[in-house]
Amino acid sequence: MNKTLITNPIIWADVPDVDPIRVENSYYMVSTSMHMMPGCPIMKSGDLMNWEIVGYVYDFLENNDAHNLTDGKNIYGQGSWAASLRHHNDTFYVCFSSNDTRRFYVYRTKDIERGPWERSVIDGLRHDPGLLFDEGRVFVFSGNGGIRITELTADAAAVKPGGIDRLLFETERDGIGLRCEGCHAYRLNGYYYLLFIEWPSAGSKRRRQICYRSRELLGPYERRIVLDDDLGYRNKGVAQGGIFDTPTGEWYAMLFQDHDAVGRIPCLVPVAWEDDWPVFGIDGKVPERFEVDLPKAPAKPLVISDEFDYGSNRLALNWQWNHNPDNRLWSVTERPGFLRLRTGSLTDSVVRARNTLTQRTEGPSCTGETVLDTARMKPGDHAGLVALQSHFGTVGVKMADDGGKFVAMCVSGGNGEEIERESVRFDGGILYLKIRFEFEDSVDLATFYYSADGSEWTAIGEALRMKYTLDHFMGYRIGLFNYAAGQSGGYADFDYFRYERS
């Protein structure tokens, strides 16, 4: 069999809180998507190195002001967190909690790549849940420090009346800053295994992988540190994720690592078994390179260029909206070959604007470019490209109240405020825009450019020192935006989005 070379990280982009499974010869994983819609991306691989997005669990989670980014409300850093993915009796299950709604969601489908997904909602948070199907019973383990077990009905749609619902155990406290969370639950080798991460306040002072095991569901549980390594990167521990096997009986873990502004990035780790304990890595380390006994699969890009040449008003799966879109106000068919973003409700900042269309950024560096037709923009409109996080930067066209146009570079002033760093008078109709992202060695700089012809580029404003902040809790995205500060009804047309990773 041909082998595939694994190079860590397997994805140098924000794909956090991964939970992987194998179904026959295919591998799937789900990750956190929070305020990005559609949500809960499903990724697929045949060789564990090359992954593609094949679908989403939902188009939108809730239809309210916070999820719609209206009336001053938002779900930055909230929404779906740390989903659990399982396959049982020909059905796929995804469950997660949402911090803003204080609810627990369970989705089911027979077809993980095409859906549809059936949804159930259970009141109450179950933090970082781990779903387990065990001899006709269904359990969810959850919590931070204090780990709870809750029994669900056979279809996982509700809490089972009279079933188990109790504190299972308390995890270590001494010398621990962040106690155990991020549960992944398994029954293997006659044991129940619960995998967690914790963050010690002494010793290595980095996130590490913990395993609890017991021969009995309700314990007592033994504890072991199974991985404490940073892959040589700034004491950022590789931890949190799930384990799975291959058809030939090899075991692996898919974990992630905090990587500053680009986000939390997945790494594949070999797993061996010694005395029925999982042993992560090689000699306690996450290998940078190793081979797996799987035939290499074609590489599919996570972030794509797009000429917006669609036959119907449905975008490629690589795109996600910032919060729920207003589907009345965007189109890729009104003007064939263009993305049209119409303005709706008035706002004063890109982080409060609906219908910002985004993709991830990737390391070590990448560039996104677009061309903007400004002919139908109205006074007060602002359209262009954004490096999106709480500490954002934009380059685009601002329309003055008198109808004048300006190329402007803006940054966050805090609390969503948008501050202009430089503006230049612009008398044309078509403008080319570009953002260059540098993530190598955590340089974390974004540089902004404009051009009248797409060949001669001029830097504008200042290089943005990108910061990963917990209020958004997401790696930097590149996005196309258009919002109105003065009057609604205008629109901006984007001819293409072209992306290059280097």
Q: Annotated active-site positions, please?
A: 17, 181
Structure token pair of residue 12? 């140098």
Could you give phi then psi for residue 50, rounded to 5 degrees? -105, 115
**Radius of gyration for the alpha carbons in the chain, expressed in angstroms and rounded:** 23
Q: Residue 71 is inside which H or E element, if any?
A: none
Structure token pair of residue 453? 């012809």
CA distance 211 to 193: 7
CA distance 406 to 367: 23
Residue 303 and residue 9 in contact, taking contact as beta carbons nearer than 8 Å: no
Secondary structure letter of residue 68 according to DSSP: H
- Residue 54, classed as helix, strand or coil, is strand
CA distance 129 to 133: 13
DSSP bridge pairs for 497: 306, 370
CA distance 479 to 57: 22
Torsion from C-alpha of 51, 54, 57, 62, nearest 10 degrees: 100
Least Cα distance to 267 among 234, 296, 240, 305 occurs for 240
Q: Are strands 277-280 and 357-360 parallel, antiparallel or unpaired?
A: unpaired
Least Cα distance to 394 among 475, 485, 460 occurs for 460
Q: State the amino acid at position 495 in one-letter form.
A: D
Residue 409 and residue 460 in contact, taking contact as beta carbons nearer than 8 Å: yes
CA distance 177 to 87: 34
* 459: CB partners within 8 A, 6+ apart: 447, 448, 449
Residue 442 and residue 465 in contact, taking contact as beta carbons nearer than 8 Å: no
